[in-house]
Structure 1
Amino acid sequence: MTNYISALGLDLGRKRIGVAGCDRTGLIATGITTIERTSFERDVAQIRTIVNERQVEILVIGLPYSMDGSIGFQARHVQKLATRLAKALAIPMEYVDERLTSFQAEQMLIAENRSPSRHKGLIDRKAAALILQQWLDTRRSQAHSSVEALEY
């Protein structure tokens, strides 16, 4: 029996929001779009359209912990925005440690011979996909562990 999930991964930045979705099986995350931030209302409207089209059940938000694992200024800013977004969309949310996802996304672009400085939106989308993929993988391994525990 497969538990289908529709999750939306978000990389919340000051200028842009990277958005990623997953297939219904919850195996693969892919970048969907990058939203250029204008106003909270417009940002919510654009995300709401995606949420409705994809029948999203949960938001997965990258939380930029400091390298020492603490929650700094940027992480608190993301938490504030994420809370407002989840409330406006009436959808639950979960955080994922997003340290180094933007760096990883930049490295992926460099490997594709693309300039990170000219593809900021693509970096945000790829970072959102990395965030969502991490959440999906963790969720799947936890489900697998609990099934093994039940069988034992």
Structure 2
Amino acid sequence: MLRCARSEARIIILVQSPGRILAIDYGSRRMGLAVSDLLGITAQGIETLQRRNNRSDFARLQRVIRDYEVREIVLGLPLRMSGEEGTQSQKVTAFAEELRERFHLPVHLWDERLTSAEANRLLRDAEVRLERRTQAVDRMAATLILQAFLESRSAGGSGKWRDC
């Protein structure tokens, strides 16, 4: 049996500023939103935002950031299967820059390949009807993006993200 002397025992406490992490699955018609718990362990989908225009989209995001005390943002980056960036990736990168400038929060881009397909599969397996699935898929994709980000971060890896 291995024993530690009292002087050798150590407790590591992770201190972070209070707040949550917001994940966004960005699309041309809808944005799925998910937030972490305060400890940054679990992700919970909160809503699917119907896109209207930049002004109303950013106003809604501002309310979410305030209401949930968001301290960081994770944005899904749609890469091609080869890992290259396409047209939509460039739009997401520009959106990430605007988020960072408007809200003065760290923004991380997360490789979101196949998250929408996985979200669709999970909803289909849960027997969610098609009309409800359409509304839920973006929120579920944001939840999957955030959960993967949180797990990668807790494992100490850089995962599939880059900072904006």
1:2 alignment partner in structure 2: 14
Q: How far apart, in 2, do the equivalents of 1:71 and 1:16 lie?
A: 20
| TM-score using structure 1 length | 0.89
Higher relative contact order structure (alpha carbons within 8 Å, sequence separation ≥ 6): 1
Q: What letter is aligned with 2:28?
A: R
**Post-superposition offset of 1:74:** 1.1
Q: Is the CA contact (8 Å cut-off) linking 2:120 and 2:133 kept in structure 1?
A: no
Unaligned runs of 5+ in 2: 1-12, 158-164
In the superposition, relative to structure 1, how do residues 68 and 51 fare at CA in structure 2: closer, same or farther (>3 Å)?
Answer: same
How many residue pairs match? The answer is 143
Q: What letter is aligned with 1:113?
A: E
Q: Does 1:93 align with 2:123?
A: no
Unaligned runs of 5+ in 1: 144-152
1:13-55 Cα offsets, whole Å, 9 max, x none, are 0000100001111111010011100110111110111101111
Q: Is the CA contact (8 Å cut-off) linking 2:24 and 2:76 kept in structure 1?
A: yes
Q: How far apart, in 1, do the equivalents of 2:15 and 2:144 lie?
A: 21
Q: How far apart, in 2, do the equivalents of 1:97 and 1:3 lie?
A: 27
Q: Which structure has the larger Rg over C-alpha atoms?
A: 2
Aligned partner of 2:82 among 50, 58, 68: 68
Q: What letter is aligned with 2:14?
A: T
Q: Which has the higher helix share?
A: 1
2:160 alignment partner in structure 1: none
Percent identity of paired positions between Structure 1 and Structure 2:
33
Q: Does 1:135 align with 2:149?
A: yes
Q: What is the aligned-residue RMSD (CA, Å)?
A: 1.4
| TM-score using structure 2 length | 0.82
1:80 alignment partner in structure 2: 94
Q: Which shows bigger deviation, 83-92 or 48-57?
A: 83-92
Q: How far apart, in 1, do the equivalents of 2:130 and 2:154 lie?
A: 31
Q: How far apart, in 2, do the equivalents of 1:92 and 1:29 lie?
A: 18
Q: Does 1:17 align with 2:17?
A: no
Moved over 6 A (4+): none
**Post-superposition offset of 1:117:** 5.2
Q: How far apart, in 1, do the equivalents of 2:130 and 2:141 lie?
A: 12
